[in-house]
Amino acid sequence: MDVFDELLRGVRGKGAVFGRSVLRPPWSLRFTDGAYLTLCLPLRGAGWIVPEAGEARHVALGEAAVVRGPAPFSFTDDPAEGTASGVREVRWGDGASDPVARDLEFGGHTVLLAAAFDVRTQVPQRLLRALPPVLVVPDEHDCSPMRDYLEAQIVGSRPGHQTVLDRLLDWLLVCTLRDWFDRPEAEPPGWYGALGDDVAGPALRAIHEDPAHPWTTAELAGRAGVSRTTLAKRFTELVGDGPVAYLTEWRMTLAADLLTRPELTVAAVARRVGYADAFGFSAAFKRVRGESPSAYRQEAATTRVPDRTVPAG
């Protein structure tokens, strides 16, 4: 099991709206909807991302930026004036673009493509916690044909138009995050580096392939062809927890998302994550998550909303 792929499964652009804005200086867009991930891609020109706390980051043509929410941030031509009067807020339901955005040959101005996700499920949150507030990835390949194709799709109305945009968003986001973790300035989580390790990697993949299996340190060590002591030491060094502790925490992460499904009883959730009875599962869940499964389910039912994407203009 590719752990990176699994963590990104809950971050899909279902019904995505690609926001596009033609921006004339002086300009500033302020994103205020609390999305957990926002992808910003200049199709023409450049701009600055100004987070609510932290340094401004320049995003040039050919670069892609991902902003980790839910704090507001601005995309502006001048970071010194990013919070001045005249800022236009970007909110749900404001429409997909300025009317002039359909004329992408509007020379001399910045054309921004942006899409955001409201990621509430727990599995991808593990990945989001490993990201900086703003990351910028240079285009190390010539992606101008892709940018041209995006522009054509944004203004087009062919059958399947929205599905094509959704899949492009998935591809852009995954590629940007993967390229970021491979960069020297990135600080990937321990499990990311452990995936390529000859000792910890096989054990980590086994846990994610079948989290309900009653794994022991000895059995996981057998997957790597090493002793229990060697696996426990290496796994803890790279991941930060021992194999069994990591397995328990991962099971509780999966369980947290399963508990948001009203058709599943607590006992059914327990079985899906490897517990024979609801009592043992409830005790483990409360120990790891700090509340009972029933309390978590009740709270999630009042706060959780469907994943969405937000336009950028």
Q: How many CB atoms lie within 10 A of CB 46?
A: 14
Residues 126 and 217 in one domain: no
| pLDDT average, residue stretch 139-160 | 65
The mean per-residue pLDDT over the stretch 185-195 comes to 84
- 56 three-class SS: coil
With beta carbons less than 8 A apart as the criterion, state whether 74 and 57 touch: no
In this prediction, residues 225-240 reach a mean pLDDT of 96
pLDDT band, residue 210 (cuts 50/70/90): very high
Asked, for residue 311, whether it belongs to a domain, the answer is: no
Of 188, 222, 246, the position where a domain reaches its end is 188
Q: What does pLDDT average to over the chain?
A: 79
pLDDT at 151: 66
Residue 312 lies in a domain: no
pLDDT, position 80: 78
User: How many residues in the chain?
Assistant: 313
Phi/psi of residue 238, nearest 5 degrees: -85, -40
Q: What is the pLDDT confidence band of residue 136, given thresholds at 50, 70 and 90?
A: very high
pTM of the model: 0.75
pLDDT per position as a tens digit, 18-32: 556 667 777 788 888
Residue 14 has pLDDT above 70, yes or no: no
Domain ends where: 188, 218, 238?
188
Number of domains in the chain: 2
For residue 277, the model assigns a pLDDT of 92
CATH number at residue 257: 1.10.10.60
- Res 81: pLDDT: 63
Is a pLDDT exceeding 70 seen at residue 94?
A: no
Chain segment 268-311, per-residue pLDDT in tens: 999 999 999 999 999 999 999 999 999 999 988 876 544 333 33
One domain, residues 206 and 167:
no
Q: Determine the structural domain holding residue 179 and report its residue range.
A: 3-188
Beta strands in the chain (DSSP E): 19-23, 28-31, 37-44, 47-51, 57-59, 64-68, 73-76, 88-90, 110-117, 134-137, 309-310
Q: How large a percentage of the chain has pLDDT more than 70?
A: 73
